[in-house]
Every structure is written in C-alpha cells, then in structure tokens.
Amino acid sequence: MIKFTDISKTFIVKKQEIHALQHISLEIQDGDIFGVIGFSGAGKSTLLRMVNALESPTEGTVEINGRDINKLSFNELRKVRKDIGMIFQQFNLLESKTVYDNIAIPLVLKRMNKADIEKRVSQLLDFVELADKRNAYPAQLSGGQKQRVGIARALSTDPSILLCDEATSALDPETTDSILRLLEKINKTLNITILVVTHEINVIQHLCNQVAVMERGHIVETGSVLDVFSNPQQNITKRFVRNVLPDTIPASVAAKLKEDTRHYKIIKLRFLGDNVEENILYYINKHFSAETNMLFASVNELQKTVVGIFILQIIGDNTEFDKITAYISEHNIQWQEVTL
C-alpha cells in the first residue's frame, strides 16, 4: 500500500515560496490502478515523485507497505526503488542502444549474468509484443513502440508498483488505447499496483478504478471512478468529466427553451447500472399529466457499469412536477433541477 499522510511540498524559486502540494492525505491499495488528474501546475508529478523519493516532502510522510521511505538508509531506499518501475511521457530511451539493450539496462546495473538477462528481456519483449524489434534502435520505432520499450524496461526488475507520469500524452488516440490495454494487462496478469498522473480524462475513464482530482496543490475530490464521474461535486471535476460524459443542453436547444412561454422546469437524471434499463420515462408520460420533452441524452460505460444522463423538460404545474420527482427519487435515481 502507498500512503500519503498530510503531505506538503514547498519549493523556493527566486526567493519566493511555491506551494506545490498542500496537506495531501491519500491511500492507494495494492492492486489498484489509481489515477491522479489535474491541469498543468496542479502538483501531480510532484506527488508521483514522492513515491520513489525523487522528491521529499517538506511536511508529512510517504509510506510504502508501512515504511516511511524518507527515513530509510541509502541502501534500504535502493532496495525499495528496485520494487518501483517508472514510465515517462518522453520515453527516456538511449538512442545509441538497441531495444534489447534499453530494456536490459536495469538488469545490467543489477549485475545479472548474461543468460538471465537474455531470458528476462526475451520474456518482456514477448509480453509487450515487440519481439521482432529487439535489434532495432529507438529512431526506427513509432511513439507507441517506444513507450512499450519504456514499459518493458520498467518491468525488468519485477516491480510491485508502476508509476506512469503522463505516459500517453505524446501519443495519438489509437496508440493511447493500445498502451492503456497493455497497462490493464500488466495490472491484471502481474498484479502490479499502478499510479497514473495525467491531464487526460479518457485515460482515467478507460484505465483506472480509483481517482483523485488535484487543483493548485490540493486534492479536491477522490473516490472510485464510477462514484466521482457519475456525480462530480467540484467545478474542476465537472469540467474534466464533461469531456467524456457530456451533460449539458446544446446551445441551440437552450436558445429555443428561453423562448418557450409555457410553465416548465428542467431536470437532469443520472441512471446507474440496472436503472438504465428501467422504463422510467415511459411510466412518467403514461401516469402523470405533465408533458415531457427530452432535451439531451447520453449513455456511457464506467468500470463495466452503464451510466446514462438524460435532461428532461417537464411542462406542467408545480404539483405535478413534485409528484414526478418524488417518483424518480423512489426509484433511487439521482436528479437535480437545471437552470438555463
């Protein structure tokens, strides 16, 4: 388990204090794929680098499996770092070395014998589907292939934790999807805990099971991806989530609504899992006297759970509106009134 307790980090830049992290407490359980998302300058990478002690906190503690890594001796820290792999946005490959040699670097530094290095590197090349590129040089590879080499190198020492620092930011969408599938495979087949920092919400959506949202050195929201995405609380979270789960009325529709002189209210419904399959709207139209008009609808999947978002115009008096919303609440469906 990775545990951050009341972490703060202050840098001094041109005699001014920069508060990169402020009182962060967070736990990442073994086997999680945990995503940390935020815009540039939020403190994501600084937090990530705390895990392998590339950065030390100004205040607070970072524990790996119950050990405060900032209190370890040099030799103890070296052992901990061997259990932590890291992949980077810009791949960090040696251009003068072949794919095979780049992957072998950590094993050579461990002074493994050549036969064991050959066996391990060959296994990793097969695992990341680059067996035919073992003698190629980085300049001969695509961006996705370079990242696969970086991942294989990070896995060479058989770590239990993998840190991903904006690992897909330099890749096109299709290549990003293939790397995300590889990371999911690593988590499931090798039981490696993965910590991802990114500004790409689709990475969190398709890969992670837990998420923390950062803003200006603070964690403003955290929880399972399903809980946070299906019901975001903070404005920054809502901004991110709308990129993958749109939930706003199109501008042209909103303009027409402003011209509607009838008495109406607008509600946003969020359906989760089996609730999506319930014919709530059919029942409302059949059993209540109010008129309804669908303004927006989207259906997506998070962590193998269907999430539906519907925005509904209810035309009628307040009494009928109250009856409808009471019926919706009885069926455990989240709803909120929307104003234009």
Cα gap 137→324, rounded to integer Å: 65
Give the mean model confidence (pLDDT) for residues 229-248: 91
pLDDT digits (tens, 9 = 90+) for 102-152: 999 999 998 999 999 999 999 999 999 999 999 999 999 999 999 999 999
Nearest Cα neighbor of 2 from 230, 163, 151 is 163
pLDDT top residue among 275 and 28? 28
Q: Which domains does the chain have, with CATH numbers?
A: 2-241 (3.40.50.300), 251-338 (3.30.70.260)
Which residue in 104, 196, 185, 180 sits closest to 147, CA to CA? 180
In tens, the pLDDT along 246-290 reads: 889 999 999 999 999 999 999 999 888 766 556 888 888 889 999
Q: Are 51 and 27 in contact (CB under 8 A)?
A: no
Query: Whole-structure pTM over 0.85, yes or no?
Result: yes
Span between the terminal Cα atoms of the chain, in Å: 45
CA 238 to chain CA centroid, nearest Å: 14
Q: 231-241 as b/e, with b when 16 or more CB fall inside 10 Å?
A: ebeeebbeebb
Kindly indicate the confidence band of residue 301, based on its pLDDT and cuts at 50, 70 and 90.
Answer: confident
> For the ranges 30-39, 100-109, 151-160, 328-337, which has the lowest average pLDDT?
328-337
CA torsion 183-186-189-191 (nearest 10°) is -110
pLDDT of residue 313: 95
When pLDDT is averaged across residues 324-328 and rounded to a whole number, the result is: 93
The mean pLDDT value for 187-192 works out to: 96
pLDDT value for 275: 63
Q: Calculate mean pLDDT across residues 191-196.
A: 97
CA distance to 67, 68, 303, per residue, from 2 (Å): 9, 10, 22
| % of the chain at pLDDT higher than 70 | 99
Secondary structure (DSSP) of 243-300 = TTS--S--HHHHHHHHT--S-EEEEEEEEEGGGGGS-HHHHHHHH-SSEEEEEEEEEE
Mean model confidence pLDDT for the chain: 93
Q: What distances in angstroms separate CA 244 from CA 197, 200, 230, 306, one per listed residue?
A: 17, 10, 11, 13
Q: What average pLDDT does this structure show over 221-234?
A: 92
